[in-house]
Structure 1
Amino acid sequence: MDKVYIFGHKKPDTDSVTAAIALSYLKNKLGKNTEPRILGNINNETKFALNYFNISVPKYLNDVKLQIKDINYPKDVFIRSDATILESYHFMTKSGVSTIPVIDNEKYYLGSISMKDIARDLISGDYHILNTSYLNIIKTLNGEKILKFDENINGNLLIASYKSTTFIENVTIDHDTIIIVGDRHSIIEYAANSGAKLIILTGNANIKGEHIKIAKKNNVNIIRTKLSSLDVSKKINFCNFVSNIMNTTSVTTVNESEEVNDFIELANRTKFSNYPVIGKNNKCMGIIRLADIADKNKKKVILVDHNEPTQSVDGIEEAEILEIVDHHKLGLIGTSMPINFRNMPVGSTNSIIFLLYKENNIEIPYDIAGIMMSGIISDTLLFKSPTTTELDKEIVNKLADITRVDYEKYAMKMFEAGFSLEGRSLDDLLYADFKDFTIENKKIGIGQVSTLNIGDFKKKSNDLINLIEKVASDNNYYLVTLFVTDVKSNGSYIYYNNSAEDLVKNSFDIDSITQGHYFDGIVSRKKQIIPRIMDTLEKK
């Protein structure tokens, strides 16, 4: 069963992280194979909630782009280096490929062999050299073992084509000689006495017992075959190890972890037919062709707490979205097939997930109940946000009953942990909960951060404004704004790039504004900030 990744948006907040964990637990209880992931560093508030209920931080998910390993390319299409050239030829013919990787006994990639390499060796190779194994010769020549002393046979080929007396008088045989001979007993005896490396008897030739004794004494290997001397001379070089002629330099390989788009670019540039695929530790997995990319297994994902492609993981357009659970407005993410899309106007994604537990009759354990409660408290600002519904309040009370936690006291501790400015950089403050939107073809960035001590925050305001100006300029934003929400007073202070001042004034229907302006009662980006900005831009 393929693994399904469940994750929230790129700027993880407590609701998105806990929703991913809670939904993953539910799906796994229902027999699915899922894993919660995060798309960025979690904030201090989320860390507090996970630590409090003893939940591990999910692993980071960099992207869901298609990789070579997601393609159904031919696996195990390779040949061992100690196979014969003839075996490689038959393997390629059977597999319908013109190139195959060569591996060692541990599947480590060594090189490649192609039909061109075989043809080149037949035409211009060194016919006199044989470097193979005793067994390979038996297999290739359909031979019979007479005497065997060596596993590997390495030497110089010689065919007994002369008259016996001429051969014996003029040809020297030594321990590196591999002689091909028929039923010419004087030459067989000469070869045995000379300690030849191997005698290949053709035409199913008989060998005298006395000659076998001599061969045994001198450690001479002997193989007999029914093939004629002509047939043996034609096939003998096919006995050679593949490693003798494999290509180790001009071969382009691809790694299983490489992105498919990069492979397409490589294939269009190099124009090779086949590419060896290398996996972990340089081990060969098979080969891939450009045509193989049509048969792919997209990474399977479930989105929580978002449905905008700009807020999601890199490569989301290359993934298969199975389901979305969200409480925001509908975004621009599209799918090629119908999916489960649970969208409700509630204060937190965890409220929807709570209903999914009830619908599936799955009991919510203590730790999952705790983080779900944390997500709802965080996203509703303990019910002060206008996005809060009676359902959110009802669910928090039920989750508090499971955990036996005083949720109001717990909320204050969680907020204190999350709102502390100690050790936090300006970038962290701006991007902690920052979302991109495209409205009327204009790029908008809206950040929001909450605090219990606005005084500490105002000390950083000048540096923060400079950062906002730089981010807007460097990244072509029409508007970059940060809303600093004061939980105690139930309102927000705004900081923005100066060029967007008119947009801010018109959106909130005020005549004048300065950096750090306070909006009483404005605490929800989803319900009170984004709709105003959208309306203003759409009226232009």
Structure 2
Amino acid sequence: MRPVYIFGHKSPDTDSVASAIALAYLRNKLGSKSIAKVIGPLNRETRFVLDYFKVPAPSYLNDVKMQICDVEYLKNSFVSRTDSIQMVYNRMKELGLTAIPIVNDSKVLTGYVSLENIMDFLIKSKSKLKTNLKHLVSVLEATIINNSASNFEGNLVYNQESSVNENDIVVINNNVDKFLNKNMKLLIIADNKPLNNKQKKLIVQKNINVIVSPYDILKISKKIILTNFINNIKLTPNPKTVNINSYYTDFLLLSKKANYNNYPIIKDNNVCLGVLKLSDIRNYEKKKVILVDHNNYEQSIDGLEEAEILEIFDHHNLGNIGTTMPIYFNCRPVGSTATIIYDSYKKERIVPPSQIAGLMLSAILSDTLLLSSPTTTDVDIKAVKELAKIAGVDYKQYGMKMLRAASSIKGLSMSELINQDFKTYTVSNNVYGISVITSMDFDVISQDMDKYIERLNEMSKKDFKGVLLFITDVLMQGSYVIYNKGSEELLKTAFNLKSIKEGQFLEGVISRKKQILPALLKELEK
């Protein structure tokens, strides 16, 4: 069973990361293989939380675009360099291929052979043979009388006693005694011609390699060439290959240019995994994902439109993500996505382990600013008290530790601080960037105010209509705002201000979801 990936938004905060981990744990407990992932760098607060409860950070997921590994290709569809032509042809026929990869003992791709290559060889090469005893016995349905060698290479001679030399492979249907007195690599006797005791004794004494086939000499002459190693054929040395991790859309472009029917699938070090038939490119399985703490394309992972969304758990306003099939969409007006995830535990009557409870507790405390945000509901408060008991912590004392860890900006660059919780929103075809961070160090930030303004102006000229940075101070119960040139009027009207300046303190404004975003969107959508 392929796993389901669970992840939050591109600027992972404690709620998105903790919710992903907690939901993955619950689903695995219920028998659905799930893996929590992150799609951006962790902020300081989230790292503190994970370290505190000794939970490993989820690994990074770059995108969920369709890849060749998602397509139903023919696995292990290759042949060895020492397989016979007959074996290779049978394998190609079985798989419905017109060409097949050739690999060495380490499964490294060494070439590519087509039916056309095989036909060309069979027409031109009828007098030489390079094979082994196993292939000869298999193709000619032969019985071994005596053998002292496993590999044979030489010229083919048919019933010509006078021209036999020690490097020949001789095929006869009469005069056995005469040929037993000759030196040769291998003697093949046709028509299942019986040997008397004297002949058998001589064969053993002279250690002659002898096999007997039921086929007549004409049929042997036609079939024996098929015992040649496939490597005897002139192969295509550097076929057009496709890496197992290549993007599906890139392969479609390649296939239009190359115009082949079959493509060897390789992984690192040119190890061959199989073959992709062009006729099978529509047989694929999309990556399965569950989104937490967002439901907006701009905030989500690259390639989401190529994945199958199974569920969404969120507590924000409805975004622009759509699906082709009905899905389970659990979106509620609570303070944190983790509150919703915890409710799922309760419905399943599963008590989370202390570490997972600690993560969900941290997520709710973080998003509700220690239950002081206007987004806080009675459901959040109840969840916090229950989770704190399971985690074995005093949520007020622990919450202050967590917020202090989150609010410190020591060692953070300007870009790291701006992007710590940066989200984009599209309104009337205009893109706005809004960053909301929690810090009690605005006095430190204000020392570089001009640099922050310059950076926001650069971002607005390049990608955004407006870029706003809100620095929320929990103790002051408000937020400072720094903005790009051109956003003054938006902020003044959105927050009902007569005037505004860079670094303005907005008293009582501490929630992105219930205060900052609704006020801005209401003004932008006029």
Which shows bigger deviation, 524-533 or 434-443?
Answer: 524-533
Checking the alignment, whether the CA contact within 8 Å between 1:130 and 1:157 is kept in structure 2 is yes
Checking the alignment, whether the CA contact within 8 Å between 1:112 and 1:246 is kept in structure 2 is no
1:291 equivalent to 2:279? Answer yes
Cα RMSD after superposing both structures = 1.8
1:120 equivalent to 2:107? Answer no
From 165, 169, 177, give the equivalent of 1:178: 169
Tell me the alpha carbon deviations over residues 358-400 of structure 1, each in whole angstroms, 9 at most, x when there is no partner: 1111112211111111101100111222211122122212222
Tell me the alpha carbon deviations over residues 87-114 of structure 1, each in whole angstroms, 9 at most, x when there is no partner: 2112222221111222344433332221
- Which residue number in structure 2 is paired with residue 527 of structure 1? 514
Percentage of identical aligned residues: 41
Checking the alignment, whether the CA contact within 8 Å between 2:157 and 2:164 is kept in structure 1 is no
- Where does the alignment leave 5 or more consecutive residues of structure 1 unmatched? 162-166
- Which residue number in structure 2 is paired with residue 145 of structure 1? 144
- Which residue number in structure 1 is paired with residue 185 of structure 2? 197
- Where does the alignment leave 5 or more consecutive residues of structure 2 unmatched? none
Tell me the alpha carbon deviations over residues 116-139 of structure 1, each in whole angstroms, 9 at most, x when there is no partner: 111111223x33221111110111
1:65 equivalent to 2:65? Answer yes
Q: How many Å apart are 1:208 and its aligned residue?
A: 5.2
Checking the alignment, whether the CA contact within 8 Å between 2:190 and 2:216 is kept in structure 1 is yes
The separation in 1 between residues aligned to 2:177 and 2:381, in whole angstroms, is: 105
AA aligned opposite 1:145: I
- Which residue number in structure 1 is paired with residue 25 of structure 2? 25
AA aligned opposite 2:216: S
TM-score by length of 2: 0.96
Checking the alignment, whether the CA contact within 8 Å between 1:102 and 1:246 is kept in structure 2 is no
Q: How many Å apart are 1:510 and its aligned residue?
A: 2.9
The separation in 2 between residues aligned to 1:246 and 1:461, in whole angstroms, is: 70
SS in 1 for 2:75: coil
Checking the alignment, whether the CA contact within 8 Å between 1:447 and 1:482 is kept in structure 2 is yes
- Which residue number in structure 1 is paired with residue 43 of structure 2? 43
Structure-to-structure mapping, 1:168-247, within 5 angstroms: 168=162, 171-174=163-166, 176-185=167-176, 187-191=178-182, 194=183, 196-207=184-195, 209-245=197-233, 247=235
Number of equivalenced pairs: 526
Checking the alignment, whether the CA contact within 8 Å between 1:129 and 1:155 is kept in structure 2 is yes
Checking the alignment, whether the CA contact within 8 Å between 1:73 and 1:286 is kept in structure 2 is yes
Residues 188 and 432 (structure 1 numbering): CA distance in 2 closer, same or farther, change over 3 Å?
same
- Which residue number in structure 2 is paired with residue 92 of structure 1? 92
Structure-to-structure mapping, 1:236-385, within 5 angstroms: 236-245=224-233, 247-279=235-267, 282-385=270-373
Checking the alignment, whether the CA contact within 8 Å between 2:112 and 2:237 is kept in structure 1 is no
Q: How many Å apart are 1:157 and its aligned residue?
A: 1.6
The separation in 2 between residues aligned to 1:300 and 1:187, in whole angstroms, is: 73
1:485 equivalent to 2:455? Answer no
AA aligned opposite 1:379: D
AA aligned opposite 1:493: Y
The separation in 1 between residues aligned to 2:496 and 2:235, in whole angstroms, is: 73
AA aligned opposite 1:202: A
AA aligned opposite 1:514: K
The separation in 1 between residues aligned to 2:119 and 2:239, in whole angstroms, is: 17
Checking the alignment, whether the CA contact within 8 Å between 2:409 and 2:441 is kept in structure 1 is no
Q: How many Å apart are 1:413 and its aligned residue?
A: 0.9
- Which residue number in structure 1 is paired with residue 461 of structure 2? 473
AA aligned opposite 1:28: N
AA aligned opposite 1:35: I
Tell me the alpha carbon deviations over residues 51-108 of structure 1, each in whole angstroms, 9 at most, x when there is no partner: 1111111111111111111112222322232221012112222221111222344433
The separation in 1 between residues aligned to 2:16 and 2:4, in whole angstroms, is: 17
Q: How many Å apart are 1:345 and its aligned residue?
A: 0.4
SS in 1 for 2:26: helix
Which shows bigger deviation, 338-347 or 509-518?
Answer: 509-518
Q: How many Å apart are 1:33 and its aligned residue?
A: 1.1
Checking the alignment, whether the CA contact within 8 Å between 1:68 and 1:258 is kept in structure 2 is yes
TM-score by length of 1: 0.93
Tell me the alpha carbon deviations over residues 391-448 of structure 1, each in whole angstroms, 9 at most, x when there is no partner: 2122212222223322111111111111111110111000010011111110111111
- Which residue number in structure 1 is paired with residue 153 of structure 2? 154
Which shows bigger deviation, 252-261 or 106-115?
Answer: 106-115
- Which residue number in structure 2 is paired with residue 75 of structure 1? 75
AA aligned opposite 1:524: S
AA aligned opposite 2:150: E
